[in-house]
Structure 1
Amino acid sequence: MTAVTGMAVQAVRYRTARWPLALVVGTALIVAWTAVAVLWPHLVPYATDAQRPQDRFQAPGSAHWLGTDQFGRDVLSRMLAGSRPVVEVAPAATALAIVVGTAIGLVTGARGGWLDEAVMRLVDAVVVFPAIIAAVLFVALLGRSVPVLVLVIAAAFVPLVARSVRAATLVEREKPYVEAARLRGEPGWSLLLREILPNVRGTVLVEATSRLGDAVFAGATLSFLGLGQPPGSPEWGASISDNRVWLQNAPWTVLAPALAIASLVVGVALVADTLRNGRSGA
């Protein structure tokens, strides 16, 4: 038993030793923020909405590690709590964009012809339409809520995912294994799901990680503009918007959520770049 355990440990060490440093750092940042988003009620030193006017604009110190804001609220507590809406919105929007975009890319790339031309022209039209205007229209029509925010972000990324998956599908559909599947009489759905999709999964994975970082930034941007989380929310983009007028007097109120966004986006980007480089080098 001890020998088996030792061999298992050695195998894990061997595999992790081969991981690029960027992948290790990026994964650590993603896992850390995900854990914070789940456990933040147990991690915050103060209630996130507790207002203490006598403590307003305290600089970072032993009592408040990241200082306080204009209402005397603890910046660290609000930064930790603000990770929850970010981790809720960004993965959901990314997953929706990946599912819809992959389906569009697979079908249009495999079928070709008039369907491919029509859908791609529609995708091009969506890409050139300003995303911020679309976001304003969606919020005006449907109201400000988390599902609307997810829908807006996903809609902006679907065309990009569809383009990438379609390009990969166009390459795969000309390969012998696809022709052999056609000759065997496999139906279209089987051809897409069993033959082509497994061979474009690298593209789908790279798109997923890339769009996740974009979704984090997009969600924060929409909240900053008042189109996402409501004012007063501890969400990072909303916190930056609420405190930007105090940037000169209390820069820590803006820097804390800004650095949180940057760290998560950088973590996702490191993972995405590693996967992209590994795929291109394969």
Structure 2
Amino acid sequence: MAEITVNPNAAVPAMEEVPGPWRDAWRAFRKNKTAVIGLSIIILFIIIALIAPLIAPFDYKEQQLMDRLKAPSSTHWFGTDDLGRDLFTRVLYGARISLWVGFFSVIGSVVAGTALGILAGYFGKWADMLISRLFDILLAFPSILLAIAIVAILGPSLQNALYSIAIVNIPTYGRLVRAKVFSLKNEEYITSAKAIGMKNMRILFSHILPNSLTPIIVQGTLGIATAIIEAAALGFLGLGAQPPEPEWGKMLSDSRQFIQKAPWTVVFPGVSIMLTVLGFNLLGDGLRDVLDPRMKN
């Protein structure tokens, strides 16, 4: 019987990396320069929001009336506002508020909209009719006007502004999920799951919801940018964050009468809003290009 010799110095073939949809998406995402730039901007503002108390040179509520409307200098990098408060400090803390409103309002909209959209799309009939009419009613109003009306009823505050933004954006996610569920519920694997006796709730959470995540992720990312703008608009109108909270929209509102005398009081909060929204828009467009099969070559 012949002996088999093994050469210990022989090269062992490297194990190939197992491909997967999310791994392929991450590879494609890294090649998308605009998406990477958007993600970098978002990460920068998230870091700023997290470490604001550590790097802020002053208390955002501290007033120095003797230093009101000071131009940018080595002491006050972004200058001061009409009450002598350090603008650099207030912009740093403003990132916390804007990102907090953006993330949590979208989470609320996504959860409520996804639940209603799945119910309407999967069960249809009267459930679809009632939920679709609810969406139509909410969409009949301009989103900012409806948000203003809700805040006017609940009372001006940052928390109520968050609630109003979440409510007005529910139909966006609800209709998106409803359309996706309509296209999924007649697929063969859903029919097979029903045939073997799988319960509706298990089908929804095991098959329908996971396969509906792609459009939700893309729209949610873009929705954060919209929520930040809406929060700034409510703050500008005095219906969002209340003094002395350093919300960017409120800072613009308080400084609009000083545009010619002290333009820096408007420039820095405005640029912060612009960069944050730009970051989420770039990231959302990149995710759409990566995750949407129709966008692939």
TM over 0.5: same fold? Answer: yes
Contact 1:107/1:192, CA 8 A, preserved across alignment: no
* Bigger fraction of residues in helix: 1
Tell me if the contact between 1:60 and 1:67 (Cα under 8 Å) persists in the aligned partners.
yes
Give the Å deviation of 1:15. Answer: 4.8
Aligned to 1:7: none
Partner of 2:182: 170
Q: Report the Cα distance in structure 2 between the residues aligned to 1:192 and 1:105, rounded to whole angstroms.
A: 12
Matches within 5 A, 1:1-282: 15=27, 18-280=30-292, 281-282=295-296
Using the TM superposition, give the Cα deviation of residue 135 of structure 1 relative to its aligned residue in structure 2, in angstroms.
2.8
Determine if contact 2:29/2:287 at 8 Å carries over to the other structure.
no
- Letter paired with 1:142: L
Residue 209 of structure 2 aligns to a residue in which SS?
helix
1:202-261 Cα distance to aligned partner (Å, 9 max, x none): 011112111111111111111111111014421101100100110111111011011111
Q: Distance in 2 between matches of 1:17 and 1:241?
A: 38
Counterpart Cα distance in 1 of 2:30 and 2:99: 29
Separation of aligned partners in 1, 2:70 and 2:152: 38
Contact 1:232 1:239 (8 Å CA) reproduced: no
Output the CA distance in 2 between the equivalents of 1:16 and 1:182. 35
Greater C-alpha radius of gyration: 2
Of 51-60 and 179-188, deviating more is 51-60
CA distance in structure 2 between the partners assigned to 1:147 and 1:234 by the alignment: 14
Distance 2:229 2:262 in 1: 23
Contact 1:232 1:242 in 2 (8 A): no
Matched-pair contact (CA < 8 Å) for 1:233–1:239: no
Q: What percentage of residue pairs aligned between the two structures are identical?
A: 35
What count of residue pairs does the alignment treat as equivalent? 270
Letter in 2 for 1:216: I
Contact 2:148 2:234 in 1 (8 A): no
Q: CA deviation at 1:64?
A: 1.8
Distance, in Å, in 2 between the alignment partners of 1:135 and 1:273 is 26
Please tell me the residue identity of whatever aligns with 2:84: G
Shift of 1:16: 9.0
- 1:268, CA displacement in angstroms? 0.7
TM-score using structure 2 length: 0.85
1:182, distance to aligned residue in structure 2 (A): 1.3
CA distance in 1, matches of 2:179, 2:28: 32
| AA in 1 matched with 2:281 | A
CA RMSD of aligned residues (A): 2.0
In 2, the alpha carbon distance for the partners of 1:229 and 1:25 equals 29
Aligned-partner residue type, residue 84 of structure 1:
R
Which consecutive residues of structure 1, in runs of 5 or more, have no partner in the other structure? 1-10
* TM-score, length basis structure 1: 0.90
Q: CA deviation at 1:90?
A: 1.4
Match of 1:82, SS state, is helix
Structure 2 residue runs without a partner (length 5+): 1-22
For residues 111-157 of structure 1, the C-alpha deviation after alignment (integer angstroms, 9 at most, x for no partner) is 12232122112201111123344333333332233332221010011
Could you say if the C-alpha distance between residues 188 and 17 of structure 1 is closer, same or farther in structure 2, counting changes exceeding 3 Å?
closer
Q: Which stretch shows the higher mean deviation, 44-53 or 269-278?
A: 44-53
Cα gap change, 1:18/1:230 in structure 2, threshold over 3 Å: closer, same or farther? Answer: closer
Secondary structure (helix, strand or coil) at the match of 1:250 reads coil
- CA deviation after TM superposition for structure 1 residue 17, in Å: 8.8
C-alpha change, 1:126 and 1:45, in structure 2 (3 Å) is same
User: 1:96 offset after TM fit, Å?
Assistant: 0.6
User: Relative to 1, partners in 2 of residues 1:103 and 1:51: Cα closer, same or farther, differing over 3 Å?
Assistant: same
Q: Distance in 1 between matches of 2:163 and 2:63?
A: 34
